[in-house]
Amino acid sequence: MNLHYLVREPKNIQAQNPLLLLLHGYGSNEEDLFSFASELPEEYYVISVRAPYNLQPYGHAWYAIHFDADENKFSDDVQAQQSRDLIASFIDEIVEKYPIAKEQVTLIGFSQGSILSYATALSYPEKISRVVALSGYLNENILAPDYQNKANQHLQFYISHGTVDQVIPVDWARKAKPFLENLGFSVTYKEYPIGHGVSPQNFYDFKNWLEDTK
């Protein structure tokens, strides 16, 4: 297996169970989002993946972020595309390894993991059914070149963001909804009066969304 991960098996085992795949943010690790795995619906496999790039002194990233002399941030889009493809092949491997319903794979990403969730779902829609994008934004530069021509109309998106997020401005997050709706997708978008994080209300809302959009 090319990526390290943690798994919570479903409490109610079926012939095939749906999957929630958790993708953490920059500088974090697979244990971060996995900390709320026990709160997620019991019929799912919950798998939390560690990003491939090691940061010093600790933590992991899906791709590098560089700063220039004026402290502008630049994403390494090539690395981001490689991670997007890595996540897609990881899904193939995990669906082979566990009795997972391959048409019921939901990505839950936070921050950089959210950016990768958008990219993976739009580039590989045949592998994904839904996306929960927490505190991220949609980076068009890391989508597959022919993403608009793929069979993708089943995809559903839940997007949330803190209105006082200091890491990723809320204005960046707001662009995703019109972009996705323009492509014909069903999008739920919510904002919360918090910074770069997931409030209890946000968690409750996206958990309800998971139940409502089965």
Rounded Cα distance, 195 and 204, in Å: 17
Using 50, 70 and 90 to split pLDDT, how confident is the model at 202? Answer: very high
Q: What is the DSSP string of 25-73?
A: -TTB-HHHHHTTGGGS-TTSEEEEE--SEE-SSS-EESS-EEE-TT--E
Q: Distance from CA of residue 159 to its chain's centroid?
A: 10
CB atoms within 10 A of CB 71: 6
**Residue pLDDT, tens place only, 106-115:** 999 999 999 9
Q: Checking phi first, is residue 27 left (phi over 0); if not, alpha (psi -120 to 50) or beta? A: left
- Give the phi and the psi of residue 58 in degrees, each rounded to 5: -160, 170
Domain count, the chain: 1
| Residue 108: closest CA among 28, 170, 25 | 25
pLDDT(1) > 70: no
**pLDDT value of position 71:** 63
Return phi, psi of residue 127, to 5°. -100, -10
Query: What mean pLDDT, rounded, does the chain reach?
Result: 94
pLDDT (mean) for 180-204: 96
Which of 85, 83, 88 shows the shortest CA–CA distance to 107?
88
> What is the span of the domain harbouring residue 114?
5-212
Domain of residue 181, CATH code: 3.40.50.1820
